[in-house]
Amino acid sequence: MKKNKMMLAVLLLFPCMTVSAQNEISLSLEECKTMSKSNDPYVRNAQLDLLSARAQKREALAEYFPTVSLNAFGFQAIDPMLDIQVKDILGNSDAANNLNYYIQTLGALYGIKTSYSALSSGYTASLTLTQPLYAGGRIANGNRLASLGIEAASLRRNVKLRDNDEDVEQKYWQVVSLEDKMVALAQAVKLVDTLYKDVSSARLAGLSVESDVMQVKLKRNELLSQKIQLEGGIRLAKMDLFNAIGVQYNPYRTTACDSLPYIDDIHLSDKLSGLSAPDKYYVPEEQAARKMDENRLLELSVDAKKLEKRIALGESLPQVGLGASYGYGHLIGDPRTNGVVFATVKIPITDWAKTYNKVRRYGYEVQKAVNEKEYLDNQLILQVRQLWVNLTCAWDQLQVAKESVSVAEQTVRQLSTRYEAGLVPVSDLLEAQTELRSAQNKLTDEEIAYCLALTKYRLRTEATGPRD
C-alpha cells in the first residue's frame, strides 16, 4: 500500500518522470475519495468560499477598532482669498472714507500696509483617529452575520464533499461491477471451451451431430464478442473515474509513452463483501433530518435574515463616536501645530420613513425564510424516508438475486449431468449457462445498487461535522 501511494504521488506531481510498464498500481476507494477532493473544482471552490467567509469575518471585526487617517491639503490662489480694507469693516460712509484717506496717505509715507490680505497659499496636514461607540447595533450584528457566513460556508463545503464522495463511489463501484461481470464471463467462456472440446470429441466418435458442435461454437464466439465489448466498457469506466480523481494514465498500450502507466495496469483493490441488512443502520427520520447539514443551513438562513433586519433598523438609531486630531498647518499667520478632541452624535431624522419601510421589507424576508424552512424541514424528512425505502428495496432485490443465482447454478449442474447421460440436447445446457451468467450479472448489479443506496443513507443520517 505504501508503494502504491508513492507511485500515485509520482504520477500526480511529476507526470513526466519515467514509470516502468511492469509497475502496477492499486487504488482503494478511500484513496480515490482523498485524491478527488483536490481535483474536483466544486470542492476547491467551496473551500475558497470558506476562506472568503473567514476574511469577511475579519473585515467585519475591524469595525470595532478606531479608524486612523492621514489628511493633507495645500493650495495656491491667483489672488488672495482674504483682502480686508477699512471700508470693508466700517462700510461706505464719510467717516470711513476720511479714515481710509488718512491711512492710505500715512501708509504711503511710512510704508504701512493699508489693507490686510491672506490665504493666497497654504497647506495643512493632520492625523485623525475616530472611535465608534455606538452605531445602532450595526457593527455587532454585522459581526454576528459574518460568523453565520463562516458556518454556512463550512456546511456548504461539507455538502460538496458529501456529493463528491457519492460521485466517486458510484464511479468506483461501476468499474468493480464491470470487472466482476468480466470474471463471470470468463467462467462462462471456460465452461463453453470445455463443452466445445467434449462435443468435438463426441462428434469424432459419432456420438453427437454437427449441429451440436456449431451451436457450441456460435455460443463461444458470442461470449468472445461480449468479452471485447466488456473490456472496452471497463476502460471507459476507468477513464471516467481517473479523470474525476486526477490520476494520469496512458489509454493505449501501443502508444510509446513510458511516463504514464497503461490504464489496464491500474487496478481497484476494494471488492464488495460482508454486506449487512439495512436494519443495522436505521435512524429515525426526524432525528436524521435534524442532523443533516441542509437543516442547519435553513436555520442559518432564518437567522441571517433576522440580523439583516436588525442592521436595517440600526440605520434609524443614533450614532455616537469619539475622535482626536493632531496636525500642522500654515494658512493664516505663522506655521503652527494644534490638536483637537471631538465627539460626534448623528441622529437620522428625514430617513425614518425610508428605514421604516426597509425594516418592513426585511420582516417579510424573515417570514419567507421561516416559511421555506418549515416546508423544507418536511422535505428533508421525506428525503430520509425515501432513502430508507430505496435501501430496503435494494436489500430485498439483492436477496432475490442471490436466490436466482443459486437456482441457476443448481439448474446448470443438473443439466450438465443429464447432458453427459445423453438425456438433454446441448442447446438446453447452453441456455442454462446463459441464464446463470445473467443471474450472476444481476446479482452484481444489485450488490452495487445496495452499496450505493447504503452510502447515500449513511452519509445523510450519521453524525455530520467538518470533513477532511
Q: Environment class of residue 307 by beta-carbon count within 10 Å: exposed (0-12), middle (13-18) or buried (19+)?
A: buried
Nearest CA-CA partner of 248 in 266, 258, 236, 260: 260
pLDDT < 50: residue spans in the chain? 1-3, 5-21, 465-468
Closest CA relative to residue 114, chosen from 128, 122, 103: 103
> Cell numbers at residue 207, please?
456420438
Whole-Å CA distances, 264 to 6, 185, 231, 376, 466: 19, 18, 10, 46, 36
The residue with cell 481497484 is 268
Compute the distance between CA of residue 397 and CA of residue 401 in angstroms, rounded to an integer: 6
What amino acid is encoded at 152 in this protein?
A: A
The alpha carbon of 289 is separated from its chain's Cα centroid by a whole number of angstroms, namely 21
The single-letter DSSP state of residue 264 is: G
**Nearest C-alpha neighbor of 223 from the set 256, 181, 266:** 181
Pairwise CA distance, residues 244 & 40, whole Å: 7
Give residue for cell 432525528. 287
> Which superfamily, per CATH, for 28-65+136-316+351-461?
Outer membrane efflux proteins (OEP) (1.20.1600.10)
d(CA 81, CA 243): 74
Residue-level pLDDT at 13: 42
CA distance 275 to 454: 10
- Where do the CATH 1.20.1600.10 domains begin and end in the chain? 28-65+136-316+351-461
Identify the pLDDT of residue 61: 92
| CA 218 to mean position of chain CA atoms | 52
- In whole angstroms, how far apart are CA 298 and each of 290, 370, 408? 11, 9, 51
Q: Is the pTM of this model over 0.85?
A: no
Nearest Cα residue to 27 out of 170, 241, 259, 240:
241
Strand, helix or coil for residue 4: helix
